[in-house]
């Protein structure tokens, strides 16, 4: 992750850019999302915030969300000179392995390694995806925010290799809104510091030099990249250890950070019509912002970002932990969905068709069991049972906020999160309700091959629509001693 700690010397570029914009308004019927809407994308990015592996799967980040970096957090910084404190803007890392490998294995000369600690909570903005890596689409949200226009109308473009220019422009953008830093992810999460920013103080030795030696090489941006210098054996170990560090928490949240979900801004908002059309029918890994967004839509996002960063946040929003709500949904459904998918895809015309019906009924029943009311009618059909179960299933996570007293507390950003969770649950509960009803109606008779194929297609379509990172994992684990 990258944290930019930006300070008061940055200019107020954003305030001038947004002064002539139309008022931002999200209270519209856009929240009534259809199944082919942006709801699964918003849900996916909410579930994935601050986690390594889901953001590797979906590297083209779309989220801008404020938060807080805890006081007394350790951060690491490596450089090729002895400047302490380093000039601004500058980059830090939460993992010492990442900080060390970037410098020791990529550039010739001694590497000086310093440790820092924050002394107070720092206001941060987190950009999701692989926003600290160099790749097509990975930097789109930053470049769109910095330019304030579509790519076609941008007067200048920052090279994907120029992280210091990006840091400076992000500083100009966010410092007028009292932001101390930006969090981004590469092979791990990194912090970066800006002019006058609150860095904290050094903690530990002033530097740790190591002489890699060898000819000059161009710096890389990830573990194991090319352009390494002819370094010594200890320095060469840096890339492997960086890779180990980045894999330490594949699905758990980056510690020391607390995000403000009620202020989450996303380029996947359904009001951004230029992006909705460009992304329709494409997986999230193929969603590119800057090549498709219109000037009007980028200005709309900038206005929303400004509104959430400058409003009185203490008196706005529900303080609901929306990410945990989304993660609860994934934790409950993901393993059973993939188990059913594997059972269905392994079936063929020579299989036991009666047992297949039993397996489909049992797996779908398990997920719907908390919502089924068998006592309502002893002779109820499968379809009659799911008719009342599906609404309960779909509304359990957020139904409280349908009540006026709680709905009135929600920010516009929370309304989008709620609608996205509701839409995902409607699809989950509806699809598994149909599977349960159809398998129950067969009552021990074998399924036809056509019905088995229909079930397989339904589950495969659901998984493609959801596109959860929880399903992308190795089926076999390497020995601990593999080198």
Q: Which two tokens stand for residue 420?
A: 């996205």
Q: Which two tokens stand for residue 108?
A: 């010739």
CA 150 to CA 144: how far, in whole Å? 7
Over residues 115-137, mean pLDDT = 90
Instruction: Give the pLDDT of residue 387.
Output: 92
Q: Which two tokens stand for residue 91?
A: 């980059």
pLDDT tens profile 200-250:
555 443 444 333 333 333 334 444 444 555 566 777 776 777 677 777 777
Q: 3-class SS at 192?
A: strand
Q: Which two tokens stand for residue 464?
A: 């493609």
Instruction: Give the pLDDT of residue 111.
Output: 83
- Please count the other Cβ atoms lying within 10 Å of the Cβ belonging to residue 28: 10
Q: Is 35 within 8 Å of 227 (Cβ atoms)?
A: no
Q: What is the residue-averaged pLDDT of the chain?
A: 81
Give the position of tokens 């008779």: 445
Over residues 412-437, mean pLDDT = 96
CA 265 to CA 431: how far, in whole Å? 30
pLDDT over 70 for what percent of the chain?
79
Q: Which of 190, 237, 235 is nearest to 1 (CA)?
A: 190
Give the position of tokens 């049992």: 362
Is 128 buried (19+), middle (13-18) or exposed (0-12) by CB count in 10 A? buried
Instruction: Give the pLDDT of residue 201.
Output: 53
Q: Is 170 within 8 Å of 6 (Cβ atoms)?
A: yes
Q: Which DSSP string corresponds to 3-71?
A: -EE--TTS--HHHHHHTTPPPP---SGGGS--TTSSHHHHHHHHHHTT-HHHHHHS-S--EEEEEEEPT
Instruction: Give the pLDDT of residue 348.
Output: 80
Instruction: Give the pLDDT of residue 217.
Output: 35
Over residues 31-36, mean pLDDT = 42
Q: 3-class SS at 329?
A: helix
Q: Is 95 within 8 Å of 76 (Cβ atoms)?
A: yes
Instruction: Give the pLDDT of residue 257.
Output: 94
The DSSP secondary-structure symbol of 252 reads S
pLDDT tens profile 284-335:
999 999 999 999 999 999 999 999 999 986 668 999 999 999 999 999 999 9
Pairing of strands 188-193, 90-91: antiparallel
Tally the C-alpha atoms within 13 A of residue 369's C-alpha that lie toward its C-beta.
9
Instruction: Give the pLDDT of residue 37.
Output: 84
Over residues 436-461, mean pLDDT = 91
**Residue 104: pLDDT band with limits 50, 70, 90:** confident
Q: Which DSSP string corresponds to 107-127?
A: SSS--EEEEEE-SS-EEEEEE
Q: Which two tokens stand for residue 168?
A: 């400076």
CA 156 to CA 235: how far, in whole Å? 37
Q: Which of 113, 122, 117 is nearest to 77 (CA)?
A: 113
pLDDT score of 373 more than 60: yes
**Residue 20: pLDDT band with limits 50, 70, 90:** very low
Is the full-model pTM beyond 0.75?
Answer: yes
Instruction: Give the pLDDT of residue 200.
Output: 52
Over residues 337-346, mean pLDDT = 94
The per-residue b/e assignment along 250-267, b for 16 or more CB within 10 angstroms, e otherwise, is eeebbebbebbbbbbbbb
Least confident of 36-45, 211-220, 369-378: 211-220
CA 338 to CA 342: how far, in whole Å? 6
Q: Is 63 within 8 Å of 53 (Cβ atoms)?
A: no
Q: Which two tokens stand for residue 248?
A: 């330490």
CA 262 to CA 412: how far, in whole Å? 8
Q: Is 29 within 8 Å of 37 (Cβ atoms)?
A: no
Least confident of 121-130, 349-358, 387-396, 413-422: 349-358
**Residue 177: pLDDT band with limits 50, 70, 90:** very high
pLDDT score of 49 more than 70: yes
**Residue 394: pLDDT band with limits 50, 70, 90:** very high
pLDDT tens profile 143-154:
999 999 988 888
CA 62 to CA 305: how far, in whole Å? 12
pLDDT score of 80 more than 90: no
Pairing of strands 181-186, 122-127: parallel
């Amino acid at each position: 992750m990258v944290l930019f700690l930006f300070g008061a010397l940055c200019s107020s570029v954003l305030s001038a850019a947004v002064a002539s914009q139309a008022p931002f308004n999200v209270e519209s019927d856009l929240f009534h999302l259809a199944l082919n809407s942006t709801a699964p994308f918003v849900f996916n990015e909410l579930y994935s915030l601050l986690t390594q592996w889901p953001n590797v799967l979906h590297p083209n980040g779309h989220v801008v969300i404020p938060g807080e970096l805890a006081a007394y957090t350790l951060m690491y910084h490596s450089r090729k000179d002895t400047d302490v404190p380093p000039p601004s803007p500058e980059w830090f890392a939460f993992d010492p392995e990442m900080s060390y490998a970037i410098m020791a294995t990529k550039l010739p000369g001694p590497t000086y390694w310093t440790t820092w600690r924050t002394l107070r909570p720092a206001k941060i903005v987190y950009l999701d995806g692989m926003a600290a890596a160099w790749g097509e689409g990975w930097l789109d949200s930053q470049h769109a925010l910095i330019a304030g226009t579509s790519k076609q109308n941008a007067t200048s473009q920052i090279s994907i290799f120029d992280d210091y220019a990006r840091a400076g422009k992000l500083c100009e953008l966010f410092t007028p809104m009292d932001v101390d830093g930006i969090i981004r992810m590469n092979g791990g999460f990194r912090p970066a510091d800006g002019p006058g920013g609150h860095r904290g103080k050094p903690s530990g030795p002033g530097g740790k030099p190591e002489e890699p030696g060898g000819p000059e090489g161009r710096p890389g941006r990830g573990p194991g990249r090319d352009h390494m210098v002819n370094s010594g054996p200890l320095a060469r170990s840096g890339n492997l250890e960086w890779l180990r560090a980045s894999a330490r928490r594949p699905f758990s949240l980056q510690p020391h950070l607390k995000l403000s979900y009620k202020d989450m801004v996303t380029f996947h908002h359904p009001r951004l019509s230029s992006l909705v059309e460009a992304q329709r029918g494409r997986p999230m890994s193929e969603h590119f912002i800057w090549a498709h967004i219109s000037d009007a839509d980028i200005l709309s996002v900038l206005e929303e970002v400004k509104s959430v960063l400058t409003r009185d946040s203490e008196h706005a929003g529900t303080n609901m932990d929306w990410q945990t709500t989304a993660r609860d949904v994934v934790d409950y459904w993901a393993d059973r969905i993939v188990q059913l998918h594997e059972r269905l895809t392994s079936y063929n015309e020579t299989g036991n068709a009666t047992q297949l019906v039993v397996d489909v009924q049992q797996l779908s029943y398990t997920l719907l069991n908390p919502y089924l009311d068998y006592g309502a009618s002893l002779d109820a059909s499968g379809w009659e049972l799911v008719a009342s179960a599906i609404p309960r299933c779909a509304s359990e996570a957020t139904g409280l906020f349908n009540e006026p007293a709680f709905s009135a507390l929600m920010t516009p950003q929370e309304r989008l999160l709620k609608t996205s969770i509701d839409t995902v649950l409607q699809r989950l509960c509806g699809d598994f309700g149909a599977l349960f009803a159809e398998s129950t109606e067969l009552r021990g008779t074998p399924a036809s091959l056509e019905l088995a194929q229909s079930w397989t297609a339904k589950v495969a379509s659901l998984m493609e629509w959801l596109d959860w990172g929880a399903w992308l994992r190795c089926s076999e684990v390497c020995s601990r001693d593999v080198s």
